[in-house]
Amino acid sequence: MSTSYLSAFRGSFVGILRWPMFDRLWQTIRTDPTGWYIYTVGETFPEETLSARDFIQFIDNLDRMLRDQHREDYCGVVYADNLSSPSMIKVFNPNNLGVSCGYSENPPLPGWVLSKLKPIDLMIAFPRTKNSQHWWRRLVR
C-alpha cells in the first residue's frame, strides 16, 4: 500500500468555502490538466492518469453536478491540499455529506479524489465498521 498516497490523503487540506474560491481552484487545475488520477471512491481505483481532454471533461461534469445538487450560496464540499498548486483534491458527494468537516479518527470518505499520486483503494485503507455500515437500522427499531 502506498504510504505516500495515504500520507497525502491524511495531510492538511483547505476547505473551498465559497463558489468563487471553487472557480479559482478549477481554473488553477485547468492550467495543467495532465497527470491527474480520478478516483471514484468505492469503485475500482485507476491505474492510469486521464488524458488532458478527459480530465477537463470530468471536472466540467463534476462542476455541473456539484452546482445542481448543492444549491447553497457556499461550496463547502471540496478540499484541496494546496490552493496555488494542488496535487490532491477531495470532493464530497453533496447528497451524502454526513460529517465531512471537523476531526475524527474515522472521517467519512470523499466521493471523488483527484490526485497527481497514484491512488490506493481507500475502502481497504479505511475499512468501515459494522456499526457505520448499518447505522440506519437503529432508526427503525
Per-residue confidence at 9, pLDDT binned at 50, 70, 90? very high
Gyration radius (Cα) of the chain, Å: 15
Closest CA to 86 of 2, 136, 16, 134: 16
Q: Please tell me the predicted confidence (pLDDT) of residue 49.
A: 97
Report which DSSP code applies to 106.
S
Average pLDDT over residues 59-63: 93
Q: Which three cell numbers stand for residue 78?
A: 471540496
- Across 41-126, the runs of DSSP E, i.e. the strands, are 78-80, 88-91, 112-115
User: Cα separation of 103 and 12, whole Å?
Assistant: 12
Q: Please tell me the predicted confidence (pLDDT) of residue 108.
A: 79
Average pLDDT over residues 80-102: 78
Q: Please tell me the predicted confidence (pLDDT) of residue 17.
A: 86
Per-residue confidence at 73, pLDDT binned at 50, 70, 90? low
- Are 65 and 95 a contacting pair, CB within 8 Å? no
| Residue 14 main-chain phi, psi, to 5 deg | -105, 130
Per-residue confidence at 126, pLDDT binned at 50, 70, 90? confident
